[in-house]
Structure 1
Amino acid sequence: MSRRIGLLVCDDHPVVRTGLEGMLAGEPDLEVVGEAADGRQAVELCRTLRPDLVLMDLRMPEMDGVAATERILAENPEIRILVLTTYDSDADILRAVEAGASGYLLKDAPREELFAAIRAAMAGESPLDPAVASRLMRRVRTPPENALSGREIEVLDLVAQGASNREIARRLWISETTVKTHLLHIYEKLGVADRTAAVTAALRRGIIRL
């Protein structure tokens, strides 16, 4: 029998972690070697457990899934990261892909799809939820000069949540001047003149979601 794939489950909801572990236990080639409640814990466990693949949620306390993905891959580039989340906004997808995630799956995916995605990621493929794949394809077809960057989408997402420039700067660890520059680029790319119009246009195009 071939070596089993060692998995680390990272999610801030205990019920989700328990459910995933129970689901994966029935597969002879898959083995959950650890659980993490946030990104920081996932980074620490990867140092000691050296799993083959991490099932990574995105939005968690302490350290989110994107930051954890970047840190894990910087220290252990051989580990595969498969994002498993409820979020499918362009900002979430882009940030995860740019961080080096091997694949992106939504939590409502059938279990057989999850199992197949794990094995595909370990085989060097990049499994993507169909909805996620269509979003990425749409971005590929968008002229580069009109496509918002991952950081610009992050800024716009926070604007949609009602954050001020100062709050955005603090949350993204950038200066207020940089926030203003990002907003100017966003306005130009979306063909709008202010924050409200930018959010409205982004929601209409599916770039962000409330």
Structure 2
Amino acid sequence: MRILIADDHELLRDTLVLFLESEGGIETVTAPDLASAEELVAKDSFDLVLLDYSMPGMNGLAGLERIMGMDGGQRVAIISGTAKREVAEEVLASGAAGFLPKTLSAKSLINAVRFMAMGEQYAPLDFLRAAENEPEHPLAKSLSQREIEVLQGLTEGKSNKEIARDLDIREPTVKLHVKTLYRKIGASNRTQAAMIARDKGLF
């Protein structure tokens, strides 16, 4: 079984490779962004392609559609630590192989990968149900999905340039989002915005 893991976090890629290859019978190939994943898919075939939802080049689910539309009929799944239930539902509705939250245990992850590589669709029922029963965070309620993603970048200490690269948007657009979210949450600078987000338990 050949699996392509595309994620911009090296540590996570290495951990997934370790998990999967320790099982035996699974060969992994890795890529740090969507462009590299596309190159690999164009010249090779995989039983399953795992794409990180927020890595460079993804542009939401546009990256998923691009890989799914390539020759070879790849089985493609999204893996994410930040995407909400609505995104998971969109992924599943698009006909992708599945949606994997990064909170999955190693055993569940391996079982899900095998399941998807065999042609089945994996839907993380616990994740979908938990998200359904979870009251929406009051701070998140006042922000758009993109503003939440930008705010997360601020709490991780990233520059506007890094946030723009991660979200595959232009730097002036990030500046605009930053300005708007400052106003919405009552912050006057990056540090204060990050502190408010952490104090309120948003991330």
TM band (smaller chain): 0.5 to 0.7
Letter in 1 for 2:17: R
Instruction: Give the conservation status (yes or no) of the 8 Å contact 2:140–2:148.
Output: no
Structure 2 residue 30 is the aligned partner of structure 1 residue 36: yes
Aligned counterpart in structure 2 of residue 127 of structure 1, from 120, 124, 127: 124
Matches within 5 A, 1:157-168: 157-163=152-158, 165=160, 168=163
After superposition, the Cα gap between the structure-2 partners of 1:69 and 1:50, relative to the gap in structure 1 and judged at 3 Å, is: farther
Rounded Cα–Cα distance in structure 2 between residues aligned with 1:169 and 1:82: 21
Instruction: Give the conservation status (yes or no) of the 8 Å contact 1:42–1:68.
Output: no
Structure 2 match to 1:146 = 141
Rounded Cα–Cα distance in structure 1 between residues aligned with 2:46 and 2:142: 36
After superposition, the Cα gap between the structure-2 partners of 1:93 and 1:179, relative to the gap in structure 1 and judged at 3 Å, is: same
Partner SS for 1:46 = helix
Q: Where in structure 1 are there 5+ consecutive unaligned residues?
A: 26-30
Aligned counterpart in structure 2 of residue 185 of structure 1, from 180, 189, 198: 180
Rounded Cα–Cα distance in structure 1 between residues aligned with 2:57 and 2:101: 13
Partner SS for 1:93 = coil
After superposition, the Cα gap between the structure-2 partners of 1:22 and 1:129, relative to the gap in structure 1 and judged at 3 Å, is: farther
Give the superposition deviation at 1:35.
0.7
Aligned counterpart in structure 2 of residue 110 of structure 1, from 106, 111, 130: 106
After superposition, the Cα gap between the structure-2 partners of 1:65 and 1:81, relative to the gap in structure 1 and judged at 3 Å, is: farther
Letter in 2 for 1:46: V
Q: Where in structure 2 are there 5+ consecutive unaligned residues?
A: none
Q: In the TM superposition, what whole-angstrom CA distance separates every residue of 1:31-75 from its partner, at most 9, and x where no partner exists? A: 54x51242343222222334342234578xxx6484697435314
Rounded Cα–Cα distance in structure 2 between residues aligned with 1:52 and 1:154: 31
Instruction: Give the conservation status (yes or no) of the 8 Å contact 1:93–1:104.
Output: no
Partner SS for 2:83 = helix
Letter in 1 for 2:178: L
Normalising by structure 1, what TM-score? 0.59
Structure 1 match to 2:83 = 93
> Percent identical across equivalent pairs?
27
Aligned alpha-carbon RMSD (Å)? 4.3
Which has the higher relative contact order, 1 or 2, with Cα contacts under 8 A spaced 6 or more apart?
A: 2
Matches within 5 A, 1:2-17: 7-10=3-6, 12=10, 13=13, 16-17=16-17
Structure 1 match to 2:66 = 74
Letter in 2 for 1:71: G
Q: In the TM superposition, what whole-angstrom CA distance separates every residue of 1:185-206 from its partner, at most 9, and x where no partner exists? A: 323543x242344322321344
After superposition, the Cα gap between the structure-2 partners of 1:133 and 1:150, relative to the gap in structure 1 and judged at 3 Å, is: farther
Letter in 2 for 1:20: L
Instruction: Give the conservation status (yes or no) of the 8 Å contact 1:120–1:127.
Output: no
